[in-house]
Amino acid sequence: MTTGTSSLFDLTGRTALVTGGAKGLGLAMAKGLAQHGAPIVLADIDDATGEQAAKDLAAETGVEVSYRHLDVTDQGMVERVVAAIDEEVGGLEILLNNAGRTIHHPLEDGDGERWRAVMSLNLDGVYHVLSAVGRRMLERGRGSIINTGSMSGIIANVPQTQASYNASKAAVHNLTRSAALEWASRGVRVNAIAPGYMRTELTRGFYEAGGEQIDIWNMMTPMSRPGEPEELAGAAVYLASDASSFVTGSILSIDGGYTAA
């Protein structure tokens, strides 16, 4: 654990499963948990990147970090992998339910394949992992689950066309609230983080190129810039730790003021 860290934020020994953890927002939040003592299991479908990320994070933080291949859209695989991890670590206590994607396409295109691809990962995948991990946390009467939502679950973005993403994240927010209410009296807390526009590996080149869309995004964000992945880490640590022991069913917006405007 980082020297001088308040015991409220101490995660020593509380193993966290991080889906979509090979890079980007998932890895940044995993790093925050690891810096506060949590052993980490990164799960992703990008095996080469995930395995290297696990090695690097372990070397940087000094905590135990491992990697597991996991396709969250495959419910059978989720059940098998979660069961194996939970048994190996003696019980998962933290879940960062983060795997997701965006596909831009206009509603009128009637492209059910692209719609389903987004929903399958962003909503069904979140449900599969939430259920598999939550069930085991309930058996032990403790645990903290953090779903990755989005400001896109609160507002509809412009100028890009991403109704499937917006709808999926709005559903994640209400799934979060529903699980929180079902499990509040049974020791398992469920919250969500709702990021705004973030500068990740996937969007960095887009931001560097600039243009009208980036100008619109920055103009509509009161802080006039995108967030950096590490700016989500503090929220993840807070929601995972005893510092948020009376917090469940909350959607924490981290968006530079976008949804407040």
Which residues, including other chains, have CB under 8 Å from residue 18's CB and lie 6 or more apart? Answer: 26, 27, 29, 30, 33, 40, 41, 42, 43, 96, 98
Q: Are 10 and 36 in contact (CB under 8 A)?
A: yes
Backbone angles phi, psi at 68, to 5 degrees: -135, 135
Active site residue 165: yes
Residue among 165, 197, 238, 258 flagged as catalytic:
165
The one-letter code for the residue type at 109 is D
127, two tokens = 């449900």
Q: Are 131 and 97 in contact (CB under 8 A)?
A: no
CA 83/CA 71 separation, integer angstroms: 14
End-to-end, the C-alpha distance of the chain in Å comes to: 38
Which residues, including other chains, have CB under 8 Å from residue 17's CB and lie 6 or more apart? Answer: 41, 43, 82, 85, 92, 94, 95, 96, 129, 133
Nearest to 103 by CA among 112, 94, 95: 112
CA 114/CA 108 separation, integer angstroms: 12
Catalytic residues: 165
